[in-house]
Amino acid sequence: MSSKFIIIILSIFSFNNLASAMEDLTIEKLKKTYKRPTQNEIPYPKDNLYNKKREDLGKMLFFDPRLSYSNVTSCATCHNPSFSWQDSLPKGVGFNHQQLGRKTPTILNLAWSENLFWDGRAPSLEAQSLGPIQSAKEMNLSLDKMVSKINRIDGYKDAFQKAFPNEKSPINETNVAKSLATFERGIVSGIAPFDKWISGDESAISESAKKGFMVFNSKGNCDSCHSGWNFTDNSFHDIGHPDSDKGRINVIPIASMEHAFKTPTLRNIDRRAPYMHDGSLENLESVIDFYNKGGIAKRPSVDRNIKELKLTEQEKKDLISFMKTLTSDDSHLSFDIPTLPTN
């Protein structure tokens, strides 16, 4: 065998080795960017620090239908823990069975979210929480009436006193908002197979899901918006959805915000169909087909990261296998429904 031939063989061999070593490095580097925070790293704001009694009170209020005019609708009616904190309807249904304008989003992992609602119009969980109570289409209860209703329930007097021990008359709208927000910050998605894989368990997810993770981060370009452990950049984009809802531009009047909506988390995504702000995409297959086409509406505000992807059928399947690994199997089951005070 000529020495030239041996060198060629050797260099092909080492090139392949080098290429796969580099691929491993890329995967390892990528995995690091998806590492989740621990439960004790949940951020709480300075003016509403974590307090167990406040969280317990917030949980009661979240599940209490008496926070509505009709006494039948609670926050949990729409943000139902059995459906990963949404209602699985294309659009929410509120007071007198009226259909709302948008799909009910999950409230998972919102401690890390700066702007609430699909269009980001609420600056904090505290600011957001009193909105649905007062909204005529949702719970339809004025804040004055809410406070007097709560005041008539003895069990709540004690719960508010414990949650706000330094206050003389703690039953007021500010403290309802603070308690609801404290409860919501604790709603964090559980450890999913994906997290186990990230921490080194190679058998935690299938080979197809591993390939899907690479498609997600390369050809699919999904990570340009669904980035980090919570799979969101906490920003707003027009992805080319064809409905008439103008989204974020109603809050921030700049052209690129026309039809822009919040990038949702992809945690527990296979439990949260139908998808998008208008609930118009029935399943994950239709979501992938939508992105594969580069969206539907073609207009100047569409984000530059939305373009035709030319994914193969196998790549589409791999992407879906990957997204299914983001579901934690235990989080909703281990959730106890609170006992509410009745007098």
Give the footprint of ligand HEC on this chain (CB under 6 A): 73, 75, 77-79, 92, 94, 100, 102, 104-105, 107, 110, 113, 116-119, 125, 128-129, 132-133, 138-139, 180, 184, 220-222, 224-226, 237, 239, 241, 261, 263-264, 266, 269, 272, 275-277, 287, 291, 303, 305-306, 319
CB of 8 to ligand HEC, least distance (A): 40
CB of 238 to ligand HEC, least distance (A): 8
Q: Give the count of beta carbons closer than 10 Å to the beta carbon of residue 245.
A: 14
CB of 203 to ligand HEC, least distance (A): 24
CA separation for the pair 113, 234 (Å, rounded): 6
Q: Which is nearer to ligand HEC, 88 or 221 (CB)?
A: 221
Is 277 annotated to bind a ligand? Reply is no
Q: Which is nearer to ligand HEC, 100 or 143 (CB)?
A: 100
Measured in degrees and rounded to the nearest 5, phi and psi for residue 93 equal -120, 125
Q: What is the DSSP letter of 43?
A: -
Is 222 annotated to bind a ligand? Reply is yes
- Which is nearest to 163 in space by CA: 174, 140, 179? 179
Is 97 annotated to bind a ligand? Reply is no
Q: Which is nearer to ligand HEC, 237 or 324 (CB)?
A: 237
Contact between 318 and 209 (Cβ < 8 Å) = yes
Kind of pairing, strands 236-237 and 261-262? antiparallel
Q: Which is nearer to ligand HEC, 200 or 253 (CB)?
A: 253
Q: Which is nearer to ligand HEC, 59 or 102 (CB)?
A: 102
Q: What is the DSSP string of 117-179?
A: STT--BSSHHHHHHHHHH-TTTT---HHHHHHHHHT-HHHHHHHHHHSTT-SS--SHHHHHHH
Q: Classify burial at 256, counting beta carbons within 10 Å of its beta carbon; exposed 0-12, middle 13-18, buried 19 or more.
A: middle
Q: Which is nearer to ligand HEC, 19 or 297 (CB)?
A: 297
Q: What is the DSSP string of 198-254?
A: HTT-GGGS-HHHHHHHHHHHTTT-GGGTS-TTTT--S-EEB----SS--BGGGTS--
Measured CA distances, 93 to 74, 139, 318 (Å): 12, 10, 34
CB of 128 to ligand HEC, least distance (A): 5
- Alpha-carbon 276 to chain mean position: 12
Is 79 annotated to bind a ligand? Reply is yes
Q: Which is nearer to ligand HEC, 214 or 276 (CB)?
A: 276
Is 241 annotated to bind a ligand? Reply is no
- Which is nearest to 132 in space by CA: 88, 86, 90, 95? 95
CB of 265 to ligand HEC, least distance (A): 7
CB of 185 to ligand HEC, least distance (A): 10
- Which is nearest to 229 in space by CA: 204, 205, 265? 265
Measured CA distances, 53 to 49, 156, 164 (Å): 12, 12, 8
CB of 305 to ligand HEC, least distance (A): 4
The region that residue 302 occupies, defined by phi over 0 for left and psi between -120 and 50 for alpha, beta otherwise, is beta
Q: Which is nearer to ligand HEC, 51 or 140 (CB)?
A: 140
CB of 9 to ligand HEC, least distance (A): 40
Query: Annotated binding residues for heme c, as ranges?
Result: 75, 78-79, 222, 225-226
Q: Residue positions in the annotated binding site?
A: 75, 78-79, 222, 225-226
